[in-house]
């Protein structure tokens, strides 16, 4: 071959390769939706703060869990609606008493270094979460999942081997729980229960999650992590279902300031960011396709200090009722927040799957009726112009909490003549104040750990360590106990909400919504998944028309 023909042959090959590439780009479509795919499949989103950890057994925050669900894979995953679907396990069987779950693992699942993912890796991971030596703050999640002996193992009273998890063989995992918990399979989608690669963790200790050390079994591997700046993950060629993954690279940019994040979104640096409070109506008008709002499973409420250290007036149910009735939720939702949130008269988020909000009298009244009733109740309790009530509302420092507290104090003053002073505290101080019942009325926000009403309603039980208002009602405690074993707990949960509403245990104010800017070509975002458990491998970027 002469140099010239060699060159020609080379050029021809290159041209063919190029053409092939172009063809592939032009014709690449999503297998399900049939939408044309963009040639560059890169997804960049904003996170508020740096990740306290990306070690699955130590993760305790939402954004850390998002990273973990990309880097690792648990027994089960969630689909776009939040249903539990196979992950590393192809499925599971439950014993008749509902206590023993047997998971069958797929034999194609591999770690990023090529090792097979075995039942032993899950045993190691789950034991690691419970191990007192790991000192995971999220060890309590194993108790939520109900894994047998979890609390005793974490307390160091039982050896790790007593934990209710064992490998029958490499491909079969058995988990024993302490009571039938219909939501148990969903807890396996949570990072605390993810598998861990023992050899890597033992070799690198606390540094095993560094990009150069980490071995993971998810659809992505960690390629770069600069604290307080960004975290980048790329496709894991070893992932068993890598062929179905479309997004090649995912970047989480850590941007503390939400307005700076919005500016960078508008400059095209991000595919997704949160909308700062109050800006949704304006952005919706300007960018109707990009500004979106969908339910997010958290509830916002005010709690009363009903313990001995609390004011005497708050021990009177009529006073609590009056204070709750006088809060015009519609004004807060429509004028203060204006981001698609919903007024709340009960605690459990309205969008929890299978949940039916019970009929609460207050919810069906007009605000004028509520105000009239509130005035009446307060007078009955012996408070009014001659015996005025005054409270302090404590909340953690934030513009939107302040705006709501101002609105509520105005409503109380106008309707009831109640004087409310506002006190904001920095987060850790606030939690301390609330946890030690050094307050009168305090702001609360609660997010679901799993998509079932008990994740909220447990807070109404006397023994709940999250019950900072020290509300206590024996009937509620009994109902919640009964619900654990009931085949259909819904009516029990509804009854609990009715009692809590009648007792005015808290003032439910609104149910959260996620309010975001999202690029028009970012597809398949699971807005129906209430807990917002999303997986980058389900997303794709469509070609712009």
Partner 1 sequence: MFSYIIRRLVVAVPTLLILIIISFVLMFAAPGGPFTSERALPDAVMANVMERYGLDQPYWKQMFDYVTNIVLHFDFGPSFQYRDRTVNDVIAQGFPVTLTYGFWSFVVAIVVGVSLGVAAAIRHNTWLDYLAVGISIGAQVLPNFVMAPILLLVFTLWLGWLPGGGWNGGQWNYVIMPVIALSTSYMASIARITRSSMLEVLNSGFIRTARAKGLPTSRIIIRHALKPAMLPVLSYLGPAFVAMITGSVVVDVYFSTGGIGQFFVNSAFNRDYSVIMGITILVGALTILFNLLVDIAYAWIDPKIRY
Closest CA to 344 of 430, 446, 275, 427: 446
DSSP 421: E
DSSP 177: B
> Token pair 């926000």 is at which residue?
445
- In whole angstroms, how close is the CB of 10 to partner 1 at the nearest point? 35
DSSP β-ladder status, 165-169 and 89-94: unpaired
Q: How far apart are the C-alpha atoms of 13 and 210, rounded to whole Å? A: 41
Choice between 90 and 400, CB closer to partner 1: 400
Choice between 140 and 350, CB closer to partner 1: 140
Please, is 56 exposed, middle or buried when counting C-beta atoms within 10 Å of its C-beta (0-12, 13-18, 19+)? buried
Closest CA to 117 of 57, 197, 34: 197
Choice between 222 and 407, CB closer to partner 1: 222
- In whole angstroms, how close is the CB of 2 to partner 1 at the nearest point? 46
Q: How far apart are the C-alpha atoms of 460 and 468, rounded to whole Å? A: 10
DSSP 408: H
Give the footprint of partner 1 on this chain (CB under 8 A).
49-55, 58, 60, 132-137, 139-140, 143, 151, 154-156, 206-207, 209-210, 226-230, 253-257, 259-260, 263-264, 266-267, 269, 426-429, 431-433, 435, 445-446, 465-466
Choice between 31 and 268, CB closer to partner 1: 268
Which residues touch 292 (CB under 8 Å, ≥6 apart)? 515, 516, 517, 518, 527
How is residue 41 written in tokens? 């499949």
- In whole angstroms, how close is the CB of 257 to partner 1 at the nearest point? 5
- 307 φψ region: left (φ > 0), alpha (ψ -120 to 50), beta (else): beta
Choice between 139 and 374, CB closer to partner 1: 139
Please, is 515 exposed, middle or buried when counting C-beta atoms within 10 Å of its C-beta (0-12, 13-18, 19+)? buried
3-state secondary structure 320-333: HHHHHHCCCHHHHH
Torsion sign over Cα 279, 284, 289, 292: positive
Q: How far apart are the C-alpha atoms of 439 and 434, rounded to whole Å? A: 6
Choice between 152 and 357, CB closer to partner 1: 152
Choice between 54 and 522, CB closer to partner 1: 54
Choice between 31 and 227, CB closer to partner 1: 227
Q: How far apart are the C-alpha atoms of 250 and 44, rounded to whole Å? A: 6
Choice between 39 and 256, CB closer to partner 1: 256
First and final CA of the chain: distance in angstroms?
Answer: 46
- In whole angstroms, how close is the CB of 465 to partner 1 at the nearest point? 5
Phi, psi of 532 (to 5 degrees): 55, 45
DSSP 317-368: HHHHHHHHHT--HHHIIIIII-SS-EE-SSSS-TTSTT------GGGGS-HH
- In whole angstroms, how close is the CB of 433 to partner 1 at the nearest point? 7
- In whole angstroms, how close is the CB of 363 to partner 1 at the nearest point? 27
Choice between 137 and 161, CB closer to partner 1: 137
Identify the bridge partners of residue 522 per DSSP, sorted by sequence position.
541
- In whole angstroms, how close is the CB of 236 to partner 1 at the nearest point? 20
Choice between 54 and 84, CB closer to partner 1: 54
- In whole angstroms, how close is the CB of 300 to partner 1 at the nearest point? 13
Q: How far apart are the C-alpha atoms of 516 and 275, rounded to whole Å? A: 5
Q: How far apart are the C-alpha atoms of 335 and 298, rounded to whole Å? A: 20
Choice between 382 and 445, CB closer to partner 1: 445
- In whole angstroms, how close is the CB of 511 to partner 1 at the nearest point? 18
- In whole angstroms, how close is the CB of 128 to partner 1 at the nearest point? 13
DSSP 310: S
- In whole angstroms, how close is the CB of 456 to partner 1 at the nearest point? 13
Closest CA to 190 of 68, 275, 284: 68
- In whole angstroms, how close is the CB of 296 to partner 1 at the nearest point? 16
- In whole angstroms, how close is the CB of 520 to partner 1 at the nearest point? 18
Angle at 125 between CA 121 and CA 131, to 5 degrees: 140
Choice between 83 and 151, CB closer to partner 1: 151
């Amino acid at each position: 071959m002469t140099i010239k023909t060699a060159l020609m042959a080379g050029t021809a090959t290159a041209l063919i390769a190029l053409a092939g590439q172009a063809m592939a780009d032009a014709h690449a479509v999503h297998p399900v939706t049939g939408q044309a795919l963009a040639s560059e499949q890169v997804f960049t989103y904003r996170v508020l703060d740096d990740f306290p950890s990306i070690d699955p057994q130590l993760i305790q925050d939402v954004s850390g869990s998002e990273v973990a669900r990309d880097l690792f894979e648990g027994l089960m995953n969630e689909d776009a609606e939040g249903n539990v679907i196979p992950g590393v396990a192809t499925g599971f069987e439950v014993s008749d008493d509902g206590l023993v779950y047997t998971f069958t693992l797929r034999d194609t699942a591999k770690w990023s270094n090529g090792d097979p993912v075995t039942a032993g890796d899950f045993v190691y991971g789950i034991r690691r979460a419970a191990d007192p030596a790991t000192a995971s703050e999220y060890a309590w999640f194993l108790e939520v999942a109900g894994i047998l002996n979890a609390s005793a193992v974490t307390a160091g009273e039982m050896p790790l081997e007593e934990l209710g998890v064992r490998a029958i063989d490499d491909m079969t995992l058995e988990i024993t729980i302490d009571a039938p918990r219909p939501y148990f399979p969903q807890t396996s989608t949570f990072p605390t229960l993810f598998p861990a690669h023992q050899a890597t963790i033992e070799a690198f200790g606390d540094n095993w999650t560094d990009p150069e050390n980490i071995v993971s079994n998810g659809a992505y591997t960690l390629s770069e992590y600069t604290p307080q700046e960004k975290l980048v993950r790329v496709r894991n060629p070893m992932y068993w279902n890598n062929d179905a993954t479309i997004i090649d690279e995912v970047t989480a940019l850590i941007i503390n300031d939400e307005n700076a994040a919005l500016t960078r979104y508008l400059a095209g640096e991000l595919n997704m960011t949160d909308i700062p409070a109050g800006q949704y109506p304006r952005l919706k008008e300007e960018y109707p396709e990009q500004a979106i709002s969908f339910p997010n499973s958290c509830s916002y409420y005010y709690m009363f200090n009903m313990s001995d250290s609390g004011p005497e007036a708050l021990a009177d149910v009529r006073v609590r009722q009056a204070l709750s009735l006088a809060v015009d939720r519609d004004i807060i939702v429509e004028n203060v927040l204006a981001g698609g949130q919903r007024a709340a008269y009960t605690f459990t988020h309205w969008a929890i799957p299978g949940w039916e909000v019970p009929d609460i009298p207050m919810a069906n009244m007009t605000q004028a009726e509520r105000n009239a009733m509130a005035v009446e109740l307060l007078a009955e309790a012996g408070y009014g112009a001659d015996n005025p009530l005054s409270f302090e509302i404590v909340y953690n420092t934030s513009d939107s909490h302040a705006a709501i507290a101002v609105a509520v104090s105005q409503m109380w003053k106008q309707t009831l003549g109640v004087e409310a002073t506002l006190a904001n505290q920095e987060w850790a101080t606030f939690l301390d104040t609330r946890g030690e019942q050094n307050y009168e009325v305090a702001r609360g926000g609660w997010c679901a750990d799993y998509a079932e009403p008990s994740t909220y309603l447990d807070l109404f039980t006397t023994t709940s360590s999250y019950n900072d208002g020290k509300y206590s009602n024996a009937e509620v405690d009994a109902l919640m106990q009964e619900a654990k074993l009931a085949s259909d707990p819904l009516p029990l949960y509804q009854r609990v909400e009715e009692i809590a509403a009648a007792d005015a245990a808290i003032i439910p104010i609104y149910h959260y919504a996620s309010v975001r800017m999202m690029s028009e070509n970012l597809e398949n975002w699971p807005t129906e998944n209430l807990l917002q458990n999303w997986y980058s491998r389900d997303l794709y970027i469509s070609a712009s028309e």
